[in-house]
Amino acid sequence: SLDGLLVFGLLLVCTCAYLRKVPRLRSWLLSERRGVWGVCHKAAVIGTRLHVAVSVSCLLMAFYVLVGK
């Protein structure tokens, strides 16, 4: 379903942005720019550059999941 896909995408972006802030994990996991780890790198870049929009989206999705469903 679409709401499940949106929740997965938001969690991926938030998790990768958090992992980017940890120095040891940043060099180990997010140094690759191609393949599966490249997707994580791109999600981390989106999460850090658009942190306000991502956090508002997480709050709205949490409200939707808790109250709307």
pLDDT over 70 at 2, yes or no:
yes
Residue 13: per-residue pLDDT = 93
Cα–chain center distance at 35? 17
φ and ψ at 30, to 5 degrees?
-105, 20
For residues 10-39, give the mean pLDDT: 82
Give the chain's domain count.
Answer: 1
Q: What is the pTM of this model?
A: 0.80
Residue 36: per-residue pLDDT = 78
pLDDT over 90 at 42, yes or no:
no
Q: How far apart are CA 15 and CA 47, in angstroms?
A: 9
Residue 30: per-residue pLDDT = 66
Q: How far apart are CA 37 and CA 32, in angstroms?
A: 6
Residue 52: per-residue pLDDT = 93
pLDDT over 90 at 26, yes or no:
no
The rounded radius of gyration (Å) of the Cα atoms in the chain is: 13
Range of the domain at 45: 2-68
